Structure 1
Amino acid sequence: MIIWVRNFVLIFAILSVVYLILSAHYARKQRRKLKDQHKTIKQDQPEDEFIAHGMIKYRRSLKPKLIFCVYLVPFVLMAILIYLAAYA
C-alpha cells in the first residue's frame, strides 16, 4: 500500500512540472500573439493595457482549463486500470 502512495506522489509531482511548463508556454505564446496583434491593429490603447486585458480574457477561456486535464486524464486512466485489475 505504501508503494502505491509513493507512486501517486511521484506521478503527481511529475504532472505538476508538466502542468507548469505547459501553462507558462501557452501564456507566453498568447502574450506574444497579443503583442503582434497590437502592432498590426495600431490601437489608441497602450500596449501594456491591451496585453493585460487580453491575458484576462485568455485566463477565462477554455484553453487553461483544458491544460488542467494533464492531471485528470492520467489519474482517471490509472483508476480504471486498477478497477479492471481488481474486478476482472
Structure 2
Amino acid sequence: MTDITTGESRCMYVEGHQYKDAALVVCNMIDVWRKNGIVLLNVFPRANGVINQEQRDILNPQYALEILLHIEITLKQDTSLHHFNSPERCSRK
C-alpha cells in the first residue's frame, strides 16, 4: 500500500499550504496501480471537516479523466514507458 498526499510537504491542513498539481497526483496513482499496488489518497480537511477548494479540485473526477485521456493519447504516440513519469508526460497540455 502506498499513500499519496495532495499536499506538498505537510500531512495536515494549514492555511496557505501549497498543493500538488492534480496531474502529478494522478500520475503517482497510475504508477502505483501499474505495479499492482494499492493507493491510499490522503486529503486534509479543516478542523470543521470541510475539504478546501484546492483539494476538491485535485479530487475532481472530470479533471482526473481529462488527465488520464491525455496520458493515454501520449502513450499511444510513444509507447516507451520509461519516460512515463517525466514532468512533460505528467503535465496537462
* Superposition TM-score, scaled by structure 1 size: 0.33
Question: Which of the pair is proportionally richer in strand?
Answer: 2
Q: Which has the higher contact order (CA 8 A, sep 6+)?
A: 1
